Structure 1
């Protein structure tokens, strides 16, 4: 619906018509003159672009970079389709607003899968067992892919140590859990992932070509999309072996004598029938109860207090999610699912985890540096105010990740010299200061990202002719326009 609304707005505004050009350049309403003119004054572009084509291409690439490239953990049993969709939309927004956190999550899961694979080979693999544990198994474990059943009833998620303890005691058989078995749970195969990779890679290639051609310019929306596309390539590289949007775990039945496992979730028909019966029989009563709830609870002073606390609750929730990205949450021994942004972290991984955090924030700095290309004359702004807002926001999203890196550098220095009391005191002070500044800088970073997205769409109303001229070889390969 949002896509259709945007397309209808630009269509109704008749924005698909190219802006008039002259030999002296394009004249904007505020008097700012664009130095971009058609590539040749005596030659007409035989295949010009329209604003709608630019929007559609960018939205398709953003979708590939934020929805298709992100591989979520399993939602858990008895979760409605509406909640699953809302959760996926939330993760997509995280990938658009703070893609470096998704990169950190993917990096941590990739390294966790690698450590689990090496630990199985060196510690748990049995001499006569033909079973082979791979990175794909490690990813599937981290996303909550193994569920323990006892007496045909679900008990809990199996995390790494518990699964290996049962495996060593001969109480579970992993021989039938192959990569093909795990791939059956995935909603996308290698071919589907290659389609998204072609979309993002081809878009980046065109953006580089337009930026290099002196007769062509990039729109702000293409610049933002290119930055997201670059990060999506990293997500794909880290999550290539992780099943995409898998929802059905492997059920392992545990018995006192012997072992076996079922390779699908058992659905209890009585529970489903009971739910549907309640919905049908109590539909009218639920409506009446909802009316009474509105009258008794919403139309009073407490409801206004709750509304006033909504911004606080939103900020608290956002900070909690960021904390979950940076510091992994332990798996609840009685839970039927792993945390939304869970990744495996053993005791030996603490040093590597800090390095991964530094790496992800370096990626964030590169992400912001791509937006700083808006300082170039290849990006045209219709007012100086918009140009100033863009530059300030791009500097914020480039500089703040460097501040966050300094905190983890201090942590690494403190761990490297644990016996130096003076150095430890100095590092503690610097670490506290950088931690406090980092905490207060998070809202500014999010606001700057939102401003860049808004400006990118707003500036499509003033697209110069150089942005509408097309690349001659733009339609050579398959591409979503």
Structure 2
């Protein structure tokens, strides 16, 4: 009896979740028929529907994630997993986070625009993102380090402790950052193809007056947020495995204290 009840419950859940067409396209436009598990023969089945939607949602979340940099790679992977789960539950939060980070990077670029290198070039978004994602640290002792926050880096520039023309010595050469960034062109291309294919399938069904399953409608809602987030993080390095650790220039104790007071948080210093 318990088994029969469980089977009936599962069938009812699937019936409420997936919408399948009847043989008449005209009747589909008027009424949607709810059914149980559909086999793959003769058209798309329930398994294809589920796997396609889950794959698209995975691509719209996991591939787009650009995590911050940790000294410990295991911490970095935990952080990426946490972002992934947050993106599944509330994808709009990731889009807002992308906007905030992009705005912060743009602000830093504007603040550093007057400082040029020997070629007359100033800081670009990729450099600003690299710093804002906590990838730049300074040594404290032989084995420990602390994060250099964006406002601290700007302070060093404005007070003449560093010069932008020497930014390559701080690991901020664009080519070096791109080499450290694990940007997979194949993964990006696969993501775009999958998303465009899924959208095209949904458009074709609508054009033929065929209904979309609730799971398909939910999946479509991820795509605009995926696109917005990807736009904001386009120049942000991806999956940097280790930070750049440098030595601070010499400064007086009062200057060092002023510099350290600008730190936004100490939570990311010397994590294990």
Runs in 1 of length 4+ with deviation above 6 angstroms? none
Q: CA offset at residue 255 of structure 1?
A: 4.7
Provide the rounded CA distance (Å) in 2 between the counterparts of 1:98 and 1:164.
Answer: 34
How many residues get paired? 232
Provide the rounded CA distance (Å) in 1 between the counterparts of 2:131 and 2:230.
Answer: 19
Q: 2:170 matched to 1:180? A: no
Q: CA offset at residue 242 of structure 1?
A: 0.8
Contact 2:108-2:128 within 8 A present in 1 as well = yes
Q: CA offset at residue 137 of structure 1?
A: 1.0
The 3 A distance-change label for structure 1 pair 231 and 151 is: same
Contact 2:21-2:32 within 8 A present in 1 as well = no
Provide the rounded CA distance (Å) in 1 between the counterparts of 2:113 and 2:152.
Answer: 17
The 3 A distance-change label for structure 1 pair 35 and 251 is: closer
Q: CA offset at residue 180 of structure 1?
A: 1.8
Pair member with larger Rg: 1
User: Paired residue for 2:258?
Assistant: none
Q: CA offset at residue 35 of structure 1?
A: 5.2
Superimposed CA distance per residue, residues 363-385 of structure 1 (whole angstroms, 9 cap, x where no aligned partner):
xxxxxxxxxxxxxxxxxxxxxxx
Q: CA offset at residue 24 of structure 1?
A: 10
User: Paired residue for 2:188?
Assistant: 193
The 3 A distance-change label for structure 1 pair 127 and 255 is: closer
User: Paired residue for 2:88?
Assistant: 96
Provide the rounded CA distance (Å) in 1 between the counterparts of 2:150 and 2:173.
Answer: 17
Q: 2:216 matched to 1:203? A: no
The 3 A distance-change label for structure 1 pair 335 and 119 is: same
Q: CA offset at residue 64 of structure 1?
A: 0.8
1:68 counterpart (63, 69, 74): 63
Provide the rounded CA distance (Å) in 1 between the counterparts of 2:123 and 2:173.
Answer: 8
User: Paired residue for 2:237?
Assistant: 243
1:220 counterpart (214, 238, 249): 214
User: Paired residue for 1:119?
Assistant: 111
2:152 counterpart (124, 144, 162): 162
Please give the TM-score of this superposition, normalised by the length of structure 2: 0.71
Contact 1:24-1:35 within 8 A present in 2 as well = no
Please give the TM-score of this superposition, normalised by the length of structure 1: 0.43
Superimposed CA distance per residue, residues 368-409 of structure 1 (whole angstroms, 9 cap, x where no aligned partner):
xxxxxxxxxxxxxxxxxxxxxxxxxxxxxxxxxxxxxxxxxx
1:336 counterpart (254, 266, 269): 269
Q: Equivalences for 1:392-407 in 2 at 5 Å? A: none
Superimposed CA distance per residue, residues 437-472 of structure 1 (whole angstroms, 9 cap, x where no aligned partner):
xxxxxxxxxxxxxxxxxxxxxxxxxxxxxxxxxxxx
Q: CA offset at residue 130 of structure 1?
A: 5.2
Secondary structure class of the residue paired with 1:254? coil
Q: CA offset at residue 184 of structure 1?
A: 2.0
Superimposed CA distance per residue, residues 65-120 of structure 1 (whole angstroms, 9 cap, x where no aligned partner):
1111121212x2235x3x54443232112112211111111011112111211211
Provide the rounded CA distance (Å) in 2 between the counterparts of 1:247 and 1:256.
Answer: 29
Superimposed CA distance per residue, residues 270-290 of structure 1 (whole angstroms, 9 cap, x where no aligned partner):
xxxxxxxxxxxxxxxxxxxxx
Contact 1:25-1:35 within 8 A present in 2 as well = no
Contact 2:32-2:211 within 8 A present in 1 as well = no
User: Paired residue for 1:308?
Assistant: none
The 3 A distance-change label for structure 1 pair 182 and 102 is: same
Superimposed CA distance per residue, residues 8-60 of structure 1 (whole angstroms, 9 cap, x where no aligned partner):
x99xx9xxxxx89556999xxxxxx9457xxxxxxxxx972222111111111
Secondary structure class of the residue paired with 1:240? coil
Which of the pair has the greater relative contact order for Cα pairs under 8 Å at 6+ separation? 2
User: Paired residue for 2:256?
Assistant: none
User: Paired residue for 1:109?
Assistant: 101
Q: CA offset at residue 129 of structure 1?
A: 6.5
User: Paired residue for 1:231?
Assistant: 225
Q: Equivalences for 1:301-340 in 2 at 5 Å? A: 331-333=264-266, 335-336=268-269
Gaps of 5+ in 2: 1-9, 15-19, 34-40, 252-262
Secondary structure class of the residue paired with 1:147? strand
